[in-house]
Every structure is written in C-alpha cells, then in structure tokens.
Amino acid sequence: MRNRSLKLLAVGLCLLSLMTCAIAKEFIVPGDSNGDKLVSNKELQKANDSYKNSEITADQLGAIKTIHDRYPRKINDTRGRTITIWKPLERIIIFDHGMAEDFRSLNAQDKLVAIDDYTKQLTIYFPEISKLPSVGDTSSPNLEAILKLEPDAVIFYATGANDSCNSLQSTLESTDPNVTVIRMDGYQEPHFINEIESLGAILDKENEAREFIDFYNSVLDPIKSKGKSLSEKEKVRVYMEGSDDHETCAQGGGFEKNFLMANGRNAFADALTPYPKVSDEDIIVRNPEIVVKIWGYTLPDVGGYNSDDVTQVKEIRDAVINRTGWSNITAVKENRVYAFYNNLIYGAQHFIGIAYLAKMFYPKDYPDLDPKAIHQEYLTRFQHLNYDLSKHGVFVYPEI
C-alpha cells in the first residue's frame, strides 16, 4: 500500500509540473473558418474554391469534405462519458496490449503513435506495433513524452487501475484540452462489443468493426446456446487458479466471467473475497471436476507465442497434480487438469479462450467446435500475422 501511495504521489508531482509549464495549442478543425469546429456547406464551398485556386491540395480538400460529411461524431465510452470527436483521429496513444489487438483487428494500427511498456515487450506478437515508442504504464506514465507526441487521443482503462487512470485523465484534460481522453478496456465482457463498435465509429472503421463482431459472435453464440440447456447442477465444477499458487476467484472475480461463459460452475463462487487464497484441503473438499492453472503474465517467456517448448508448461501442470492429497480429486483422477495461457483469458482473445474452455469442459457436446482453427483464423484474418499454430506456440496443455 505504501509503495502504491508513493507511486501516486510521484505521478501527482509530475502532473503538477506539467500543468504548470504546458501551453495547449489552438484546436484546429481543417476547413472550419469561424471557430465552431464544424465545416458548413459554405465552408466546404470555400475549400473547393481554394483547391481550384491551387491554395490547398486534393488530400486537404478530401479531409475537409470528410469532416463536412461525417463529423462531429459522438460516442459513449465505457465510463459512460459522452465524447465528441470533431475530426478524424490520426495520432493515438494506448496503454493496453488488448487495445493494440483491437486496433489491429480493425486494421487501424497505423493510427497508433505510442504504446505502453508491456506491449513494447511483445515483439513476436506485435512485430510492428512493438517498434513504437513506449510512454510507460498507467501507474507510472511518461507524461512529458505523451505531450511531446501531440496525440489526438489517449485511450486507457475504464475499469482497471482507477486511481492512476483518473489522475492521468484529469491531468491530460487540464494540461492540453485538445487531447481527447477515452476510457475503454478493450478486452473483457460485458462491454467488449460496444467498445469495438465505438472504436469503429471513431476510427472510420465501421465495416471492419462489423466484420470482427460477426466473427466474435459466431464463436460465442453456439456456446451460449449450450448454456441455456444446462441447469446449474449440470454444469461442470471448475477450480481455476491464477498465476499465484492457490489463488482463485469468487463470484464476480476477474477471470470468473469467462469460464462461466464457457458454462463452467465456479467451485469457489461463495468465497468471501474476490481473489481468495485457498488451501489444498479447501480444494479437496470442493472436489472440482476440472482444474485450470493459468500461467503467462509472470512467466512471459514460457509458452504462449514466445516459445514452442512445452517442457516448462508441463512442469507447471505436473506441480499442480502432485500437490499433497490431490490424487483424490476428481479432476486429477480423470486427467482433466490443464495449464492455460494467461492472454487467452484476460486479453482481447478472451473469446478464443472461452472456446478452448468450452471444448475442455464438454468435449462430447461440441464435436464441431475447433478452438485451434478459430484461434488460427483470428491470427491470420484479423491480426494479420504469419503465425502457424500447427508449428508454433503453446497455449493449452495437454492439448484438447
């Protein structure tokens, strides 16, 4: 808690310094001559005349016509704020690797000018985006670098790291009112589809957003349909463990929503804290039918997209199976203990993770569900990656 307070204090001091010295530039909407941020019919005609007189280029005229025809636009971000976009956003900074995936799904990665530290490290998954400059993370942002890049917009979490994000939002809006601050997570239900639709609107990528949402729904709709036919008692009982040993989630906890969408039943839904630490004895008493051990975030070079070596992932699973007393758990007896890659649960790929989990939970009920094929289509069609899952990567062990 003390370290967190010191971090926030440091951020606050940096913010105060920037607010003292920064001077916002005038907000200019191309083609707007009277300062109302709109391009009227009269102003568009004036731009046409300027083009005919060789005073502006064809590209400049095209930009003015786009603003006349399609702007301003209004969206509601995930914090419920109404945001007005007066002109196309061309220079955007993001603070989450899930958002980087969303931009790439909409083929809008060329609009990014900076990323966060974690995304910067993902050089295999983001071979081009990872080359962009980093501006820190939401708990320790490089605000001077942000302002020097003169972004049109900055996007950061809506529901995570609230103290840091709220401070950052307040400072950016006070220091440079020309920067549009947008609060979106970009990686989790229940607002994921709304965020993709909003991104499509503000990035001029509505068709791409609709194509991606159709793909997303085509994966999840059959799984949701299966869930409607199951009573709560018929659903498999699942113990899912985070990167930290013996840490799980209660009702409403971070990764619970995803395995519930795969029609699992949380063995620790009634725990008193969102992320309880549970004992081996607790788990043995609850006797889960499925055990899922998450790895990845604290072990970035183990499996995932970065390594094809299954050895360490197998060791992670074996260590779980060999815990004292676990030989009596149904999941161990029936060989239904799995190691599962973190980003398939927490990231923009969560819907692919749900497909893997559904197949894991109900292998006989989904004869036509092929999570690996879905995963490959996502990488090729929406992430534009030359990455062959039949040759590379480790995401679920043992394979399903």
Q: If you search the block for the tokens 């869930």, which residue do you land on? A: 227
Residues 390, 308, single domain; the answer is yes
Residues 67 and 87 in one domain: no
Domain boundary among 204, 237, 257: 204
> What is the reported pLDDT for 378?
98
Domain termination site, one of 46, 71, 96: 71
> Given this model, what pLDDT does residue 23 score?
52
Number of domains in the chain: 3
Domain identity same for 39 and 121: no
Alpha helices in the chain (DSSP H): 2-21, 41-52, 58-70, 97-105, 117-121, 143-148, 162-175, 192-202, 206-228, 256-261, 280-286, 311-321, 330-333, 343-346, 350-361, 371-377
**361 belongs to a structural domain:** yes
Cα–Cα dist 112/93, whole Å: 6
- 204, 239, 272: which is the final residue of a domain? 204
> Residue 132: which domain range?
76-204
396, containing H or E segment: strand 396-397
239 part of a folded domain: yes
Per-residue confidence (pLDDT) for residue 362, from 0 to 100? 96
177 belongs to a structural domain = yes
Do both 165 and 313 map to the same domain?
A: no
Q: State whether 305 and 355 are in the same domain.
A: yes
Pair (287, 329) in one structural domain: yes
24, part of any domain: no
203, 180 in Cβ contact below 8 A? no
CA distance 129 to 186: 16
Q: Are residues 336 and 371 in the same domain?
A: yes
Residue 315 identity: E
**pLDDT tens digits for the chain (400 residues)?**
444 444 544 445 454 445 444 555 788 999 999 999 999 999 999 999 999 999 999 999 999 999 999 999 999 999 999 999 999 999 999 999 999 999 999 999 999 999 999 999 999 999 999 999 999 998 899 999 999 999 999 999 998 777 888 888 989 999 998 999 999 999 888 899 999 999 999 999 999 999 999 999 999 999 999 899 999 999 999 999 999 999 999 988 778 888 899 999 999 999 989 899 999 999 999 999 999 999 987 787 899 999 999 999 999 999 999 999 999 999 999 999 999 999 998 889 999 999 999 999 999 999 999 999 999 999 999 999 999 999 999 999 999 9
Is residue 38 domain-shared with residue 98, that is, in the same domain?
no
Contact 345, 365 (CB under 8 A): no
**What is the Cα–Cα distance from 376 to 167, expressed in whole angstroms?**
39
Q: What is the structure's pLDDT at 24?
A: 55
Contact between 113 and 132 (Cβ < 8 Å): yes
Query: Do 107 and 59 share a structural domain?
Result: no
> Would you state the pLDDT for residue 20?
45
| 191-to-92, 294, 355 alpha-carbon distances in Å | 21, 23, 19
289 and 345 assigned to the same domain = yes
In a domain, 4, yes or no: no
Is 14 a member of any domain? no
223 domain residue, yes or no: no
Residue found by looking up tokens 């786009």 in the block:
66
CATH of the domain at 152: 3.40.50.1980
- pLDDT score of 159: 85
Q: Say yes or no: 123 and 260 in one domain.
A: no
| Residue 218 is assigned to a structural domain of this protein | no
Are 238 and 385 contained in the same domain? yes
> What's the confidence (pLDDT) of residue 39?
97
Task: Characterize the bridge pairing of strands 140-141 and 136-137.
Answer: antiparallel
